[in-house]
A and B are shown apart, each in its own frame.
Chain A
Amino acid sequence: MTDVNVNGAPITTQGLFDEPYNALLPKFQALAASDVQVVNLDIPSAVTTVLGVANEVAGFKDQIAKELPLFDVGPILQLESYAMALSHAHTLFAMASAPADSLAPMVDEGTTLRETLLADASALVTRNMLNGQQLRDLSGPVGYKNLAFDLQILAALFRENMAQLTGKCATQPAELQRAEEISASILRTVGLREQGPASIAATQDMRARAFTLFAEVYDQARRAITYLRWNEEDADTVAPSLYAGRGNGRKKPDPTPPAPEPVVNPPAPLPAPPAPVPPVTAAQSAAANGSHRAGAAGTPSADPFVS
């Protein structure tokens, strides 16, 4: 892929995604089949989310090394690479599993055209203007490949004898052109179909492997960040879960939900006179006085207003 920067100089983006993929390919291939996870996320959204936070996560490298000395920080410094590799694996899978061109319209048109060309050719053979031997090679219209090869044979027959047939039959050069195009389309589509399942399965497997390692590395990153940011209660802002608020990409930092507390047994009695709500905590009040940052929709810290 090539693009142009603001100065007009070409920028090549080739390698942006397939290079990390190729670099990590041995690790993907080394995964045992039993360890490969089912893809259970929308991959483009997940990749976008992780690419958005990868730099910030990497910024915790020194703190992780200091506070979690036994934690292997190496993989999470490669979060960006794992995300790009997954993106490339997903693209390869999408290309392989794209539906092949529909055959039915081509077959219909090809069958009609075969009949027309055969009728013209038969008439010319009867009048000794064409050698009928080649017509014996025709297989008949049943079967995609048979139809495709018959169209090729008929088109070739007319082309070879075009000089002496001009003005003596209704067949037009455009029809021969169309017969060859249809033949090629049918053969290509049938070929893709025959190869398709194997190709799809291979790219699907690789995508699942890439996803497995991507998810594992990101999980490790979230573990570390959750530990480091426990008191600040903003781990979900630095490294958000990929299973919540899907499609929202990087979320605005939130002021943190309240710490988990039992629902059935309230921590304190209601003040008199009875009020439906307990007082705002000091942390929440501080957040209100500072910049208000909203969490994902459906969470306690979501923004109550539309923009």
Chain B
Amino acid sequence: MRKPPLFNLGSWRSLDGSGGGSVLRLPANHLVTHGVVVGMTGSGKTGLLTVLVEEALRNEVPTLVIDVKGDLPNLLLSFPSFDASTLAPWVDVNGAGESETAASLAEQLAHERRDALAAWSLGEPELRAFAAGTEVRVLTPGAAAGELLHVLSPLEVRSNRWDTDPDSARHALSAAVSLVLRLLGRDSDPARSREHVLLSILAERRLLAGQNAELGALMQDIVAPPIAEIGALPINSFLRKSERQHLAAALNALLASPTFASWRQGVPLDVGAWLTPKNGRTPAVIVSVAHLDDEERALVLGVLLEEVLSWVRTLRGSSRLRALVVFDEVFGFLPPHPANPPTKRPLVSLMKQARAFGVGVLVATQNPMDLDYRALSNAGLWSLGRLQTDADRHRVLDGIATNDADRTEKQLHQTLKRLAPRWFVMRNANASSGPILMQPRQTLSLMRGPMTRVEVRAAREARVGT
């Protein structure tokens, strides 16, 4: 049987800090049972996530990254060498001395990176191999900084899933309809909104009949319904004609809006195609929603996660890691009961079911108070970084079950309290050893911090032809 690839994550020590910093190699299949990274701002959480993604890509594991804060597009800044000229556009000249130019700062940065990576036995050959072996894409729904994403494709474009798995297709449709209603400023709750019910029924009718369900066609159906009843009620009793006309008018205005056009253009929502390697390069697809407001994010990510779930269910069973789904920052998207944002259902389902298909899910948060720990209870790999308050530390330790009889919660709490930045307490349910201290290696990608839309565009343009 083929041995699983090993992820070179960095170094480790015993929980009391002793030991000289041995290399930490994590078998890839340990991530099939999912992972959680928790740490306050500045704890090194994004660095650890970036290392995990880089190692997945280096081991030919396609990765889908959901980026909420704008940090993970830094993966675009993986240069094939230490050439200072490639770093010059990314140095910060604000506050530099009079004699310092971008070029001199870039030289300085290149030296720093060379030395920092050398400490982890990494150098230009690894940079070159990583840049040549990966294809990093950034999708920005509703904005042209990255590639546009046709977020409404589960609604408007008929997929074969309606023939093979109509339930998952229906869930994806529901999420897309919620997004449309949100953009119209109307109630988008599928359980409560009559407009949601009407649109979903009209769309499904077309899709089951083998047609597309473009919004323009649906608008006609709203005004002149091809159905007489909804549930047990005549349609005019369910939603009066005047209300339907108002809905159609609002939809028409939305269709005419140039801003809305950006939600319906671009790459179709096809996770399977995204994560298929092309030209020998392992894909990393980053869906960045940093530019959206909270509600839009929840709706767009709800649509996306439903699609991910549907795709996972099309795969054959596997115990090896065939894909990784990373979600940074999950705060607000997987809250404890009774909150139920559009992202929660598909995320919980993924945490329960994706392991059987070899898809690992890795979620990260800086807020351990607002997590559904029950949903995360079967996550195998927990990485706990510095946390701000005792309450945070207690919460996260309460939430994870430690079955190491020698480690009391008090000991772990004290260890967490003393933790330096960029260090994590790592507990791996797949390992026979107890919790350890780990420090992620230096990233191959330049960690520039949250990237603006302009920077994402510039980074993508710089990569064309590499």
Residues of A within 8 A of B (CB): 38-41, 93, 97, 200, 204, 207, 241, 243-244, 246, 255-258, 260-264, 266, 269-270, 273-281, 283-285, 287-288, 292, 297-306
The 17 sampled A-B contact pairs (Cβ below 8 Å) are A38-B103, A38-B104, A40-B105, A204-B99, A243-B108, A257-B119, A258-B21, A263-B126, A276-B26, A284-B21, A284-B22, A287-B20, A292-B17, A297-B421, A300-B441, A302-B422, A304-B17
Choose from A207, A276, A281, A297 the contact partner of B433 (Cβ within 8 Å): A276
**B423 interface residue (CB < 8 Å to A):** yes
Q: What is the distance, in angstroms, from B15's C-beta to the closest C-beta of chain A?
A: 9
Please judge, given known A-B contacts A39-B104, A274-B27, A276-B26, whether A297 and B20 are in contact too, CB under 8 Å. Answer: no
Query: Is A281 a contact partner of B107 (Cβ separation < 8 A)?
Result: no
Closest 7 CB pairs of A and B: A284-B20, A300-B21, A243-B111, A300-B11, A288-B18, A260-B121, A244-B115
**A202 to B422 alpha-carbon distance, docked (Å):** 43
Q: Verify B431–A275 contact, CB threshold 8 A.
A: yes
Q: B24's contact among A207, A277, A305, by CB below 8 Å, is which?
A: A277
Question: Quick check: A301 and B26 within 8 Å, CB to CB?
Answer: no
Residue from A257, A269, A281, A303 within 8 A of B3 (CB atoms): A269
Q: Is residue B316 within 8 Å, beta carbon to beta carbon, of the partner chain?
A: no
Contact A285 B19, CB 8 Å, known A276-B433, A277-B24 = yes
Kindly identify which residue among A256, A261, A274 contacts B121, using a CB–CB cutoff of 8 Å: A261
Q: How far is the CB of A43 from chain B (nearest CB, A)?
A: 9
Which residues of chain A are near B352, meaning CB under 8 Å?
Answer: none
With contact pairs A257-B119, A297-B422, A299-B119 given, residues A41 and B108 touching in the complex (Cβ less than 8 Å): yes
- Judging by beta carbons under 8 Å apart, are B20 and A275 in contact? no
**In the complex, A200 Cα to B120 Cα: how many Å?**
41
Q: Flag whether B432 is at the interface (Cβ < 8 A).
A: yes
CA distance A89 to B442 in the complex (A): 35
Query: For the complex, would chain B's binding face be called helix, strand, loop or mixed by DSSP majority?
Result: mixed
Q: Is the CB of B420 within 8 A of A297?
A: yes
Q: Is the CB of B115 within 8 A of A258?
A: no
Tell yes or no: B6 within 8 A of A by CB. Answer: yes
Q: State in angstroms the CA–CA spacing of A256 and B419 once bound together.
A: 21
Partner of A244, one of B22, B25, B112: B112
Given contacts A273-B432, A297-B420, A300-B23, 10 further A-B contacts (CB under 8 A): A39-B100, A97-B99, A260-B121, A261-B23, A276-B30, A288-B14, A298-B116, A301-B21, A302-B439, A304-B17
Specify the main secondary structure of chain A where it touches its partner.
Answer: loop
CA distance A302 to B26 in the complex (A): 20
Residue B13 is within 8 A (CB to CB) of chain A in the complex: yes
CB distance B431 to A305 under 8 Å?
no
Q: Select from chain A the residue with minimum beta-carbon distance to B8.
A: A263
The interface residues of chain B lying within 8 Å CB-to-CB of A262 are 121
Question: Could you list which residues of chain B lie within 8 angstroms of chain A, going by C-beta atoms?
Answer: 3, 6, 8, 10-14, 17-27, 30, 58, 98-100, 103-105, 107-108, 111-112, 114-116, 119-122, 126, 418-423, 426, 428, 430-433, 436-437, 439, 441-442
- A263 and B436 within 8 A (CB): no
Candidates B23, B26, B114; contact of A258 at CB < 8 Å: B23
Q: Which residue of A lies closest to B113 (CB)?
A: A243
Chain B: minimal CB distance from A241 (Å): 5
Closest to B27 in A: A274
User: How many contacts A-B (CB < 8 Å)?
Assistant: 143
Contact check, A300 vs B30: say whether CB atoms are below 8 A apart.
no
Q: Which residues on the B side are within 8 Å of A93 (C-beta)?
A: 99
Please, how many angstroms separate the alpha-carbon atoms of A97 and B97 in the complex?
A: 10
Residue among A207, A273, A300 with the highest chain B CB neighbour number at 10 A: A300
Give Cα distance in the complex from A249 to B132, angstroms: 38
Contact of A40 among B6, B24, B107, B437 (CB under 8 A): B107
Q: When chains A and B are docked, how far (Å) is the Cα of A41 from the Cα of B428?
A: 41
- Of all chain A residues, the one with the shortest Cβ separation from B107 is A40
Note all chain A residues with C-beta closer than 8 A to B17: 292, 303-305
**In the complex the two chains form, is A263's CB within 8 Å of B122's CB?**
yes
User: In the complex, are the beta carbons of A305 and B419 less than 8 A apart?
Assistant: yes
Shortest CB-to-CB span from B387 to chain A, Å, is: 13
Query: Contact: A300 with B439, CB < 8 Å?
Result: yes
B422 touches A277 (CB 8 A): no
Q: Which residues of A contact B422 (CB under 8 A)?
A: 297-298, 302
Q: Which residue in chain B gives the minimum CB-CB distance to A299?
A: B119
Tell whether, in the assembled complex, residue A306 and residue B121 are in contact, meaning their CB atoms are under 8 Å apart. Answer: no
A266 & B6 in contact (Cβ 8 Å cutoff): yes
Check B111 against A300 for contact (C-beta < 8 Å).
no
Cβ–Cβ contact B430 & A276, under 8 A: yes
**Would you call A277 and B58 a contact (CB within 8 A)?**
no
Please determine whether B119 and A298 come into contact, CB atoms closer than 8 angstroms: yes
Q: How far apart are B132's CB and chain A's nearest CB, in angstroms?
A: 14
Bound CA span A275–B433, Å: 7
Q: How far apart are A206's CB and chain B's nearest CB, in angstroms? A: 12
- Minimum distance in angstroms from B100 CB to a CB of chain A: 8
Q: How far in angstroms is the closest Cβ of chain B from A49?
A: 14
A93 to B432, CA, bound (A): 60
B104 adjacent to A298 (CB under 8 Å) = no
Q: Are A270 and B439 in contact (CB under 8 A)?
A: no
Is the CB–CB distance between A278 and B99 below 8 Å?
no
* Nearest CB in chain A to that of B26: its residue: A276
Given contacts A204-B99, A244-B115, A276-B430, contact A304 B121 (CB under 8 A): no
Contact residue among A40, A264, A292, A300 (Cβ-Cβ distance under 8 Å from B10): A300
Q: Which residues of A contact B98 (CB under 8 A)?
A: 97, 200
Contact A243 B112 (CB under 8 A): yes
Evaluate contact between A277 and B112: CB separation under 8 angstroms.
Answer: no
Nearest B residue to A200, CB-CB: B98
Asked if A274 contacts B431 (CB within 8 A), the reply is yes
Looking at the assembled complex, report how far the CB atom of A164 sits from the nearest CB atom of chain B, in whole angstroms: 53
A258 to B126, CA, bound (A): 18
A261 to B121, CA, bound (A): 7
- Cα(A288)–Cα(B113), bound, Å: 29
A269 to B419, CA, bound (A): 31
Complex: chain A residue closest to B84, CB-CB: A40
Tell me the smallest distance from the CB of A34 to a CB of chain B, in Å.
17
Which residues of the other chain, A, contact B3 by a CB distance below 8 angstroms? 269-270
A39 touches B99 (CB 8 A): yes
Residues in B whose Cβ lies below 8 Å from that of A207: 99
A288–B20 touching, CB < 8 Å: yes
Determine the distance from Cα of A93 to Cα of B115 in the docked complex, in whole angstroms: 29
B111 to A276, Cβ gap below 8 A? Answer: no
* Separation of A276 and B112 alpha carbons in the complex (Å): 30
Shortest Cβ gap from B353 to chain A (Å):
24
